[in-house]
Structure 1
Amino acid sequence: MLIAGLGWLLAVAYCTGVVYWVGNRLNPDDRVGVVPPVPVTWAGLVFGGSLLVVLGSAVHAGMLFARLRRQEYQHLSLPGRRLSAHDLRRCRDVSTFRALHRLVGEHAIRLGGWCGAALLALAALGCVAALSGTGPHRAPGSGWAALVDGAANAGDRLLGWLPVVVATLGLLVYRNDTVRRSVGVIWDVGTFWPRSAHPFAPPSYAERAVPELQTRTAGLLALPDDDPRGVAGIILSGHSQGAVICAAVLLQLPARWRRRVRFFSYGCQLTRLYGRVFPAYFGPHRLPVLADALTDRHGRTGWTNFWRETDPLGWPVPAAHRQVSVRDPEGLHPTGGEVVDPPIRNHGGYPESPEFLVERERVAGLMRGAVPSPREGVG
Structure 2
Amino acid sequence: VAASVAGAAARHDRAVGGPVPDLLGRLLEAMLVLGTLVVLWVVCRRGRSERRIDNRLDRAVISCLPGAALALLALAAVYAAWSRPGWVSAGSLPGDVTFRVLTVGQGALVVALTVVAFGLYRRTPEPRTVLYGLGGPAVAMLACALGGVMSGGVAQRVADWLDGSGTPGMGRASVIDGPPVLLSWQASVIPVLLVLLLVPAAVLGVRTWLAARALEPEVDQEYGQKRPDAARTRQIARIRATAALTDSAPWLLGLVSGATLLLGAAAVAGAWASGEVPGLALDGAGPFIESVAETAQSTGSWMVGFGFILFVTWGRRAYRDASARRTIGILWDVGTFWPRAAHPFAPPCYAERAVPDLASRMSGWTGRTRGRLVISGHSQGSVLAASAVWQLPAETRKRVALLTYGSPIERLYGRWFPAYFGPGPLHGLHRSVHCWRNLWRATDPIGGRVRLDDGSEPEVDRGPLRDPLVYGRTEEHPLPEPVLGHSDYQADPVFAEERAALLARLGPLLPRQADGGSGETQGSSGRSSG
Class of the TM-score when normalised by the shorter of the 2 chains: 0.7 to 0.9
Q: Normalising to structure 1: TM-score of the pair?
A: 0.85
Deviation of residue 354 (structure 1)? 1.1
Deviation of residue 10 (structure 1)? 4.0
Distance in 2 separating the partners of 1:183 and 1:219: 35
2:447 aligned to 314, 319, 343, which one? 314
The reply on whether 1:124 has 2:291 as its aligned counterpart is no
2:462 aligned to 324, 327, 333, which one? 324
Match of 2:162 in 1: 22
Match of 1:299 in 2: none
Return the letter of the residue paired with 1:217.
M
Match of 1:371 in 2: 520
Unpaired runs of 5+ residues, structure 2, are 1-42, 44-139, 454-458, 510-518
Asked whether the equivalents of residues 265 and 304 of structure 1 are also in contact (C-alpha less than 8 Å), the reply is yes
Match of 2:382 in 1: 243
State the secondary structure of the residue aligned to 1:285.
Answer: helix
Q: How does 1:61-140 map to 2 (within 5 A)?
A: 61-77=204-220, 83-84=226-227, 87-105=229-247, 107-132=248-273, 134-135=275-276, 136=278, 137-138=281-282, 139-140=284-285
Match of 1:226 in 2: none
Distance in 2 separating the partners of 1:166 and 1:153: 20
Match of 2:366 in 1: 221
The reply on whether 1:293 has 2:432 as its aligned counterpart is yes
1:232 aligned to 371, 374, 387, which one? 371
After superposition, what is the alpha-carbon deviation per residue over 1:204-252, rounded to whole angstroms, capped at 9, x for unaligned? 22122112211211111221xxxxxx14221111111111111211222
- Closer, same or farther: CA 67–174 of 1 in aligned 2, 3 Å: farther
State the secondary structure of the residue aligned to 2:244.
Answer: helix
State the secondary structure of the residue aligned to 1:263.
Answer: strand
Distance in 1 separating the partners of 2:226 and 2:466: 19
State the secondary structure of the residue aligned to 2:341.
Answer: coil
Match of 1:279 in 2: 418
- Closer, same or farther: CA 271–22 of 1 in aligned 2, 3 Å: same
Match of 1:335 in 2: 474
- Closer, same or farther: CA 140–193 of 1 in aligned 2, 3 Å: same
- Closer, same or farther: CA 201–38 of 1 in aligned 2, 3 Å: same
State the secondary structure of the residue aligned to 2:402.
Answer: strand
**Identical-residue share of aligned pairs (%):** 33
Deviation of residue 69 (structure 1)? 1.2
Unpaired runs of 5+ residues, structure 1, are 224-229, 296-301
Match of 1:59 in 2: 202
Asked whether the equivalents of residues 64 and 103 of structure 1 are also in contact (C-alpha less than 8 Å), the reply is no
Distance in 2 separating the partners of 1:361 and 1:372: 11
After superposition, what is the alpha-carbon deviation per residue over 1:34-69, rounded to whole angstroms, capped at 9, x for unaligned? 554521320211333333345544433322221221
Q: Normalising to structure 2: TM-score of the pair?
A: 0.62
For the aligned residue pairs, the C-alpha RMSD in angstroms reads 3.1
Distance in 2 separating the partners of 1:20 and 1:344: 48
Asked whether the equivalents of residues 401 and 433 of structure 2 are also in contact (C-alpha less than 8 Å), the reply is yes
Q: How does 1:342-357 map to 2 (within 5 A)?
A: 342-357=481-496
Distance in 1 separating the partners of 2:263 and 2:389: 43
Asked whether the equivalents of residues 468 and 482 of structure 2 are also in contact (C-alpha less than 8 Å), the reply is yes
- Closer, same or farther: CA 123–221 of 1 in aligned 2, 3 Å: farther
- Closer, same or farther: CA 307–33 of 1 in aligned 2, 3 Å: same
- Closer, same or farther: CA 363–89 of 1 in aligned 2, 3 Å: same
Return the letter of the residue paired with 2:521.
P
The reply on whether 1:48 has 2:188 as its aligned counterpart is no
The reply on whether 1:187 has 2:347 as its aligned counterpart is no
Return the letter of the residue paired with 2:249.
A
Distance in 2 separating the partners of 1:68 and 1:216: 46
Asked whether the equivalents of residues 373 and 401 of structure 2 are also in contact (C-alpha less than 8 Å), the reply is yes
Return the letter of the residue paired with 1:313.
I
After superposition, what is the alpha-carbon deviation per residue over 1:321-344, rounded to whole angstroms, capped at 9, x for unaligned? 422112211111121253201222
State the secondary structure of the residue aligned to 1:238.
Answer: strand
Return the letter of the residue paired with 1:278.
F
Distance in 2 separating the partners of 1:52 and 1:200: 35
Asked whether the equivalents of residues 363 and 396 of structure 2 are also in contact (C-alpha less than 8 Å), the reply is yes
Deviation of residue 306 (structure 1)? 0.5
Return the letter of the residue paired with 1:372.
T
1:155 aligned to 291, 297, 300, which one? 300
Deviation of residue 258 (structure 1)? 1.6
- Closer, same or farther: CA 212–82 of 1 in aligned 2, 3 Å: closer
Distance in 2 separating the partners of 1:114 and 1:17: 29
After superposition, what is the alpha-carbon deviation per residue over 1:176-208, rounded to whole angstroms, capped at 9, x for unaligned? 343333222212211111111221333222122
- Closer, same or farther: CA 132–246 of 1 in aligned 2, 3 Å: farther
Deviation of residue 373 (structure 1)? 3.6
- Closer, same or farther: CA 171–18 of 1 in aligned 2, 3 Å: closer
Distance in 2 separating the partners of 1:82 and 1:352: 23
Deviation of residue 119 (structure 1)? 2.1
